[in-house]
Amino acid sequence: MEMERALQRAKRKQLMKTIGIACIVTCVALVIAYKGMTHFTKKQYERLDESLFLRHAVMEPNVTINSQTINSSDLFGGTIVTHRSKEVNGYLVPWGTIESPYTWLNSSVDTTALTSGDAGTDTVGYSYDRPSKQKVATFYHPDVATYHYDVPNDLKAVSQMDGYSAEVALSFTKPVRYKDVVAMIPEESLTIDWVYAFSEPRQADRDGTNGYVAEEPYGFHVAADDPTASLHSFVEALEQWNEKRDDEVVQTYVKRVNDQPIDDVEVLGVTVSGQGPAFQALLDEPLIRAASVGVTVEHVPYIEPKK
What confidence tens digit (pLDDT) does each residue in 36-85 have? 777 787 888 888 888 899 999 999 999 999 998 888 777 788 899 999 99
For the chain, percent of residues with pLDDT exceeding 90: 47
pLDDT digits (tens, 9 = 90+) for 257-298: 988 899 999 999 999 999 999 999 999 999 999 999 999 999
Q: Are 128 and 136 in contact (CB under 8 A)?
A: yes
Residues 6+ positions from 68 with CB-CB distance below 8 Å: 49, 52, 53, 80, 81, 82, 83
CA 167 to CA 162: how far, in whole Å? 14
**C-alpha 170, offset from chain centre:** 19
**Amino acid of residue 112:** T
- Span of 12-16, 134-138, 152-156, 186-190 with lowest mean pLDDT: 12-16
Q: What angle do CA 37, 42, 45 make, to 5 degrees?
A: 125
> Which of the four pLDDT bands, split at 50, 70 and 90, describes residue 31?
confident
Cα gap 139→152, rounded to integer Å: 10
Q: Which of 26-40, 55-69, 132-146, 220-234 has the lowest mean pLDDT?
A: 26-40
Cβ atoms 233, 159 nearer than 8 A: no
In the predicted model, what is the mean pLDDT of residues 11-25?
Answer: 73
Tell me what pLDDT residue 291 has. 96
Band of pLDDT at residue 121, cut at 50, 70 and 90: low
- Average pLDDT of the chain is 85
Q: Are strands 210-211 and 146-147 parallel, antiparallel or unpaired?
A: parallel
Buried b (16+ CB within 10 A) or exposed e, 42-78: eebbeebbebbebbbbbbbbbbebeebeeeeeeeebb
Residue bearing the bigger pLDDT, 191 or 150: 191
How far is it, in rounded angstroms, from Cα 229 to Cα 269? Answer: 19
3 state SS of 101: strand
Q: For position 207, what pLDDT does the model report?
A: 42
214: pLDDT strictly greater than 60: no
Size of the chain, expressed as the number of residues it contains: 307
Instruction: State the Cα angle at 239 between 47 and 45, rounded to 5°.
Output: 5
pLDDT attached to residue 204: 46
Provide the pLDDT for residue 151.
86
Percent of the residues in the chain that have a pLDDT greater than 70, as a whole number? 88
> What pLDDT does residue 293 have?
96
Q: Give pLDDT, residue 215.
A: 58
Amino acid found at 217: P
DSSP category for residue 203: B
Asked if residues 273 and 193 have their Cβ atoms less than 8 Å apart, the reply is: yes
